[in-house]
Structure 1
Amino acid sequence: MTSLRPEHADDGKPKCGAQKRQGAPGETCTFVAGWGTDHVGTGHCRLHGGNTRTQRAAARAEKAEAEARRVLATLDVAPVADPFAALSTLAGQVLAWQEAISHIVNKLGDRVRYEGASGAEQLRAEVALYERAMDRTGQILGMIAKLNIEDRMARVTERQADALVSALEAALAAAGVTGTAADEARKAAARHLRAV
């Protein structure tokens, strides 16, 4: 329970920061952020509108962002070694998400709209979520198409095959395999690479 007397943020706690109506120009409230509300530590204090619906929503968003930043700071992030594969994986995840949401929307049938508290017709959140998923899918797939990843991956594969052939040639030469036996070994390697 919050105290009746506002607590000043002089001990390093975040401040309300709202512009004071009285006092010097630019002077801001020094009470603890969110004092007198259910979101102490973020947003404006109760005296400066901290309990309005908009302020409560903004404080929840601020808390969520702070938590996300805290989690992000603890992650052990490694650089992406293969950006093409990472983008392909992301595309797969986005497509899977879109398909999952499409099943939910399909179950709604003709109930994609409802009457809100004000009496106005509203579009269900699931439909908006599906539209965003479709947009995201289009963006990722468009990005992949612009990058021409398939051709690049084919060139990478060709380079790998060339490196394998060179290694095979070196191994055959080192083993003293020449003539027909070397040709047969090359053909067998080529068949295996095509199969893989």
Structure 2
Amino acid sequence: MHIVLDPEEIAYVKSKLQSKTVKKKSLLSEAGDICRNIYFVNKGCLRVFNTDKDGEEHNILFCPENWWAADLASFSGQTPAFYSIDTLEDTEVLYFSYSALEQLYIKIPKFERFFRILTQNGFSLYQRRMTANLSRSAEERYERFQKQYPKLEQRIAQKHIASFLGITPVFLSMIRKKNL
């Protein structure tokens, strides 16, 4: 945790926090709509993805337990989203609406610090992933995926992992067999 809250602040944060349980394969946010919430995964797994003009899905991020998820540009600017967010498993999320988070920033300014650090860490992760996609082999990207998301590949479909790595499911299967 990047900030320390007193009991009164904790109570206020909890008053703004919402929760829900969502079934597998449910959309939380759809490209073209405004991303109204920022989600924290308590249990389960989300994915952030884009669907191209040919209907091909491109996974850019998996969000298992203790990860945050949003189309950040859409959420921050309250503009149409480029990415969709859905559930890869039955998932429990905690979330803040845009207005609730804005109220938190005003009432508890150190909350802005928390989300600034979260955003900086996410941007850094994104930059490293883009560099890896441009400069590393598929095998190296797969090894990096395994380190970044331990045990996740036993929980989600191979097609989603392949999309995240920028390869076909058949090629991913070949890599996995080679590594056995």
TM-score of the two chains, using structure 1 as the length reference: 0.23
Question: Is the strand fraction higher in 1 or 2?
Answer: 2
Question: Is the helix fraction higher in 1 or 2?
Answer: 1
Higher relative contact order structure (alpha carbons within 8 Å, sequence separation ≥ 6): 2
TM-score of the two chains, using structure 2 as the length reference: 0.25
